[in-house]
Amino acid sequence: MEIGYQITITVVVIGILLLTLFFVRKYSEKIKRLRKTNSLLEVKEAIRIDANNKLFLIGVAGQEFLIISSKNGHNIIRVTR
């Protein structure tokens, strides 16, 4: 193969990758919104407490649950609604 052909193929592949990145960044929020409207489960907020624990506010079919995720497992702390 000649070097000009290899450079052309490389430029085309990099161009396709850049176009894919552009469209993913441009439309990722729209895709997330479409997915959320059809789901009964929604992660409303997530807060990292420390390196091993994270606190989640989860909505399930109109009810809200406060859940902590730790090394020991997931425990429901409180039903908020």
**Per-residue pLDDT band at 38 (split at 50, 70, 90):** low
Distance CA 35, CA 57 (A): 18
Average pLDDT, the chain: 84
- pLDDT 10s digits, 49-61: 888 888 999 888 8
The top-scoring range by mean pLDDT among 21-25, 32-36, 61-65, 66-70 is 21-25
**Does position 63 have pLDDT exceeding 70, yes or no?**
yes
Question: What single string gives the DSSP state of each residue in 7-70?
Answer: HHHHHHHHHHHHHHHHHHHHHHHHHHHHHHHT-SEEEEEEEE-SSS-EEEEEEETTEEEEEEEE
Whole-prediction pTM value?
A: 0.47
pLDDT of the residue at 10: 96
Give residue limits of the domains in the chain: 1-38, 39-81
Distance CA 25, CA 36 (A): 18
